[in-house]
């Protein structure tokens, strides 16, 4: 099953885990923190999407 929806702050832990396990992914300690992402989502409530597919491994695609 594929789930496509607007990203919310409740997705942060899953997204952060993806970022931390992606080779070469650079994170900014301010902008990419939970607080930074929450502020971004409040300013731009429909500009970030999340697509995930439920399987043995969870696949996530972020759309910014």
DSSP string across 1-49: -EEEEE--GGGHHHHHHHHHTSTT----TTTTSHHHHHHHHHHSTTS-E
Mean pLDDT over residues 30-48, rounded?
A: 88
Q: What is the pLDDT of residues 5-26, one digit of tens each?
A: 888 899 899 888 888 888 998 8
Give per-residue pLDDT as tens, 21-34.
Answer: 889 988 889 888 99
pLDDT for the residue 35: 95
pLDDT for res 15: 85
Architecture of domain 2-63: 3-Layer(aba) Sandwich (3.40)
pTM across the whole model: 0.71
Dist. CA 25–CA 47, nearest whole Å: 21
Confidence bin at 56 (pLDDT 50/70/90): low
- Report domain extents, the chain: 2-63
């Amino acid at each position: 099953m594929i789930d496509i929806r607007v990203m919310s702050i409740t997705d942060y832990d899953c997204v952060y885990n993806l970022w931390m396990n992606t080779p070469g992914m650079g994170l900014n300690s301010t902008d990419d923190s939970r607080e930074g992402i929450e502020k971004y989502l409040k300013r731009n409530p429909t500009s970030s999407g999340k697509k995930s597919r439920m399987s043995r491994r969870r696949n996530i695609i972020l759309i910014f």
